[in-house]
Structure 1
């Protein structure tokens, strides 16, 4: 039985209704390039601050930790005072923190500002994505998420090359100025085009927030789908976090060669999202996941083969991660939809729970693999990727099959 929010999802995707996601994706692009442009510069930043290059992945992990720490509040808050108010305030806060980081002079203050900038991730995941799911019908919402993903993927494509340019010709400080400017522009677009929340949500006391979270966390279907999300997304996150160290320090690639190596990997994600958009109306929802995850397992096995035969590592890691990213592209938006709609609790709270779990797992795994990498180098990266995808074939896969069977029995395509 569909919940009340699903019933109210009557907006169809059109040029007019796409203006709100377009404004949101400009902010999403700003937040993502806030990581992808900075990561290539981290080797230069650590040298400037006089610390070891092993600190480089921490820029990303603290960014993710910041996202995890406020999601639990932002989702329920947006349920009560409105998504638009919270989203606009979050964009403004992100702009301010991007400008404040220009004043840092040591790695500790730099990472503290990276932590605060990470709040922008929660604004997108706990507020923006919830608004998208509420605004559009089921398959249109998945299409919008995939379209947004493709636009935001310009960040990891442009970011490494732009970051390399900044390192070689100017200063990393200009990157944050550009990021702040883009986010500032998105604020105006969201103010003009984001619809006001239509459904009526009871103005319950804040003490009810924990009761809502308990309802969400007791839902086994929600937990399986949500825990499956970082398993699917984590290998590519590890690639973004560790590829500067692997390709530049381990393999001796130049900053520009490192940037160019991102194109096939992230291009696979773009192609995967395009394929998802084209086939989503013709296949049973979830079928693309059943195709994508075996491809991802094959991709991680290819990366592991490159570690075993290291003379082929560069080819294997790029080919393997391209397969991984393609599989993620045809899978992630569908899994996110299943996770979000598996609970009857208000979608701001559900989206916040998803965001907290995702960000905390991202932070924990990146920091763990970073420490392992200091001792085991490429082996740590490859084995971690294989293990993460292999874990998906346990409980998450079984729950997905159960969801698809239930949808088929109830006549849902």
Structure 2
């Protein structure tokens, strides 16, 4: 396989990830702006509010179902072509959802919009990892995460504004315009010289995926990613129901409650960028996960004593998101580099496992929440993070030891 020459981070080379993060922002706000509006949407369609989390889970399922194709396809015809086509498809789906009149067609379009998640994770992230040196790639990923976090910060507030003053339809129009703008930036600034495999029958894709999924290190490191990210995903999916419907907060109060939680993730990413060159790569994960475990315990305490839930959940989720910020980008890099198969295929495998995990856990918690309410949320958050301290922690320690023996800082 042909190797792509990596570059260092500079103002010139930063333009490509900035264009990519504009699309990432569009895709993320396509969820974060919609979730607070889901109570109004379910009411408009005449269905139970228990359907609200399904908007997010179907979005994630869409991302999982197409990743297996996009990654290998980008290995063969180039990342840029696949990425540009994916952006246009996302724009079209955002406009088509304006024509829906029932929850079934709405969720079907949400499923198709979710393809945009795979375009980012299976194609865009692979291009970033190939384009930049190891530590620069992690810095770029952390920087992109901070910019894209404007979506969950602004999304709930904008969603509340749409509910109170306009219509949820305008949100999708704005998302489509942002994504279309990113298409022009990617067309102009994304490098064309990405890794491209020799043309082979597409049956070889199956062989590549078999090789990836037989890799024990890949499976452990990849499945550790949802353990970190899932509590925050559950917060985004369920917080409209928990805070507005169950605790009686207004739409604007709900939006403001997102700031400390997501601000913790921003601070975590900033801290990672500041200290990544001073510590052995991976050490921040050993700091971040205990912080996340402490946060999950605080959330669980609030779920048991409901009178303190609002204070405990905001404090606990802020700690969880901070720990995720200083950990996730590094673990993603280790997962992606755990196999020698083409990075488009590996990134696709990572995306499939993550998105499927997100879908099934969100749908499971949605059902559990109907019966156990806040306790279901608290227990699942704690269990997910506690699971990381089993095989994933052992595998991370093995990787750190191997890097030290090779003299890699």
TM-score of the pair, normalised by structure 2: 0.99
2:258 is aligned to 262
2:148 is aligned to 152
Unaligned runs of 5+ in 2: none
2:290 is aligned to 294
The answer to whether residue 383 in structure 2 is matched with residue 394 in structure 1 is no
The answer to whether residue 172 in structure 2 is matched with residue 181 in structure 1 is no
Aligned 8 A contact 2:285 2:327 in 1: yes
Offset, 1:358: 0.3
1:133 is aligned to 129
The answer to whether residue 13 in structure 2 is matched with residue 13 in structure 1 is no
Aligned 8 A contact 1:9 1:137 in 2: no
Offset, 1:200: 4.8
Over 4 Å off, 4+ runs: none
Offset, 1:239: 0.3
Aligned 8 A contact 1:63 1:114 in 2: yes
Offset, 1:211: 0.3
Distance of aligned partners of 1:261 and 1:191 in 2 relative to their CA distance in 1, 3 Å threshold: same
Question: Matched residues in 2 for 1:50 and 1:172: separation?
Answer: 16
Distance of aligned partners of 1:246 and 1:4 in 2 relative to their CA distance in 1, 3 Å threshold: same
Corresponding residue SS for 1:294: helix
Question: Matched residues in 1 for 2:161 and 2:15: separation?
Answer: 32
1:374-405 C-alpha deviation (Å, 9 max, x unpaired): 00000000000000001101111100000000
Corresponding residue SS for 1:242: helix
The answer to whether residue 164 in structure 2 is matched with residue 168 in structure 1 is yes
What does 1:364-379 correspond to in 2, within 5 Å? 364-379=360-375
Question: Matched residues in 1 for 2:42 and 2:95: separation?
Answer: 19
Offset, 1:4: 7.0
What does 1:270-349 correspond to in 2, within 5 Å? 270-349=266-345
The answer to whether residue 101 in structure 2 is matched with residue 105 in structure 1 is yes
Offset, 1:307: 1.6
2:117 is aligned to 121
Aligned 8 A contact 2:29 2:151 in 1: yes
Question: Matched residues in 2 for 1:9 and 1:82: separation?
Answer: 15
Aligned 8 A contact 2:79 2:194 in 1: no
Question: Matched residues in 1 for 2:72 and 2:306: separation?
Answer: 49
1:233 is aligned to 229
Aligned 8 A contact 1:66 1:119 in 2: yes
Aligned 8 A contact 1:94 1:120 in 2: yes
The answer to whether residue 202 in structure 2 is matched with residue 206 in structure 1 is yes
Aligned 8 A contact 1:273 1:329 in 2: yes
1:360 is aligned to 356
Question: Matched residues in 2 for 1:29 and 1:94: separation?
Answer: 13
Offset, 1:198: 4.1
Question: Matched residues in 2 for 1:200 and 1:4: separation?
Answer: 7
> Which among 50, 57, 74 is matched to residue 54 of structure 1?
50
Aligned 8 A contact 2:77 2:196 in 1: no
Aligned 8 A contact 2:78 2:195 in 1: no
1:246-274 C-alpha deviation (Å, 9 max, x unpaired): 00011000000000000000000000000
Cα RMSD over matched residues? 0.9
Offset, 1:205: 1.2
TM-score of the pair, normalised by structure 1: 0.98
1:219 is aligned to 215
The answer to whether residue 24 in structure 2 is matched with residue 32 in structure 1 is no
1:385 is aligned to 381
Question: Matched residues in 2 for 1:106 and 1:252: separation?
Answer: 27
